[in-house]
Amino acid sequence: MADTPTYWDYLRLPQLLDLQAGLGTDPEAIGHDELHFIIVHQAYELWFKLAISQLRLARDELARPTVDEETIPHVVHHLRRVIEIMRLCVDQFAVMETLTPQDFLDFRDKLMPSSGFQSFQMREFEILLGLEDMMRVTYGKVHPLEHIKMLAEGSPGGAMAWGTISQARTEVNLRSALHAWLYRTPIQGSSPGDQGDEAVVKAFLQEYLDKGRERREAQLARLIEVSADAAEGLNARFAAQETANEEWLMTEDPRLRRTRAAALFIESYRRLPLLAWPRLLLDTAVELEEQVVLFRTRHARMVERLIGRRVGTGGSSGVDYLDQTTKYRIFTELWAVRSMLSPRSALPKLRNPERYGFREV
Ligand code: HEM
């Protein structure tokens, strides 16, 4: 019967269920609450493993030098799975929260200095999404990843921890793949390499800004009409927004300018048949990041409920540190576009609309 597959052998249940003893070898030596703590964390790590593999699949497809329209649904499919995993991870904190603050204190001290901060899979996930080193909040005086590197030296799982992070840093991330793909989007019917493409892109952006400005001036006038005493502040706020929009869209870097223009173009003309999947891809990337931000926010609230504002087992300022990480944004271009998007009635006239119909097969 040795070759007969069984549920327990296929899933390696004897091995899996023998991994909850913490640092000791006797599962009986840990209490029920600690068992709960270990299992919840292990369940998260399993979900992270799956999310990372799906993310790599999506990244690989999107990072190809040319991406057919047929490929985008696959990319969206894999990313949607990551979104659902993250949604589940957000909800799973409710299970962790059934631990009371005092029950946690019974075994918390022995965990020091280990911490979820050292979840190398979470770091791998962030890096593969496109979180850059310089975007991270420092951890005490050191960079968070350097802190993990220091801990990895000499620890039994250290080679795997640091090896995983180092490997992820050598790979193309989803943000870069998305940018490279966006860059190639036809804008007003013009593609990179077409004659006069840069001028077409600039003209599109200028028209977009001009039409948007007219609308915003009308909005400003309406606001001042009802609250004249706030006029000074309103004028300054609208002017600052106008300058920010202009500087952002008309950036000196032609590659970035085209990439941003493409995000704006897809969001603006999202009803065009050829943009149906591209816009879903952008929606999916934003939703994914929204779930990651919700994960960070939900974790911080759970931590506040369990340990208040004390220092974390990993040595950070605890909730203050975690709240700062909720500011991270990876798909910055996609978020920024939302501040300057115009309604359909105020869009620049679409040029070469025939390029955006469905292809004949
Ligand atoms: C009793 C439950 C928990 C408490 C009190 C707690 C507390 C903390 C604290 C204070 C930090 C900041 C680093 C430090 O100083 O230690 C942290 C980081 C972290 N924790 Fe938790 N945590 C808990 C459960 C979890 C769970 C279930 C996960 C799921 C994987 C998790 C994932 C993380 C991650 C990924 C970080 C790094 C955040 C970052 O640097 O961006 N934690 N945790």
Whole-number Å distance between alpha carbons of 247 and 60 = 32
Residue type, 30: I
State the distance from the centre of ligand 1 to the C-alpha of 18, rounded, in angstroms.
24
Q: Between 1.10.3210.10, 2.20.25.90, 1.20.58.480, 3.30.230.10, what CATH number should domain 7-186+267-356 receive?
A: 1.20.58.480
State the distance from the centre of ligand 1 to the C-alpha of 5, rounded, in angstroms.
38
> What would the pLDDT profile of 193-216 be if each residue is shown by its tens digit?
999 999 999 999 999 999 999 999
Angle of helix 276-307 relative to helix 101-108, nearest 10 degrees, comes to: 80
Residue 143 scores a pLDDT above 90: no
pLDDT at 140: 74
Backbone phi, psi, residue 47, to 5° = -65, -40
> What would the pLDDT profile of 23-37 be if each residue is shown by its tens digit?
888 878 899 999 999
Break the chain into its structural domains and give their ranges.
Answer: 7-186+267-356
Average pLDDT over residues 130-146: 89
Name residues contacting ligand 1 (CB within 6 A): 40-41, 44, 96, 99, 104, 115-117, 119, 122, 144, 299, 303, 306-307, 312-316, 318, 321-322, 325
Closest CA to 75 of 262, 261, 288: 288
Pocket test for ligand 1, best of 40, 86, 143, 299 (most atoms within 8 A of CB): 299
13 Cβ neighbours under 8 A, 6+ residues apart: 7
State the distance from the centre of ligand 1 to the C-alpha of 116, rounded, in angstroms.
4
Query: Rounded to two decimals, what is the model's pTM?
Result: 0.96
pLDDT at 1: 64
Pocket test for ligand 1, best of 38, 41, 99, 117 (most atoms within 8 A of CB): 117
Pocket test for ligand 1, best of 303, 310, 330 (most atoms within 8 A of CB): 303
Atom 21 in ligand 1: residue holding the nearest Cα: 116
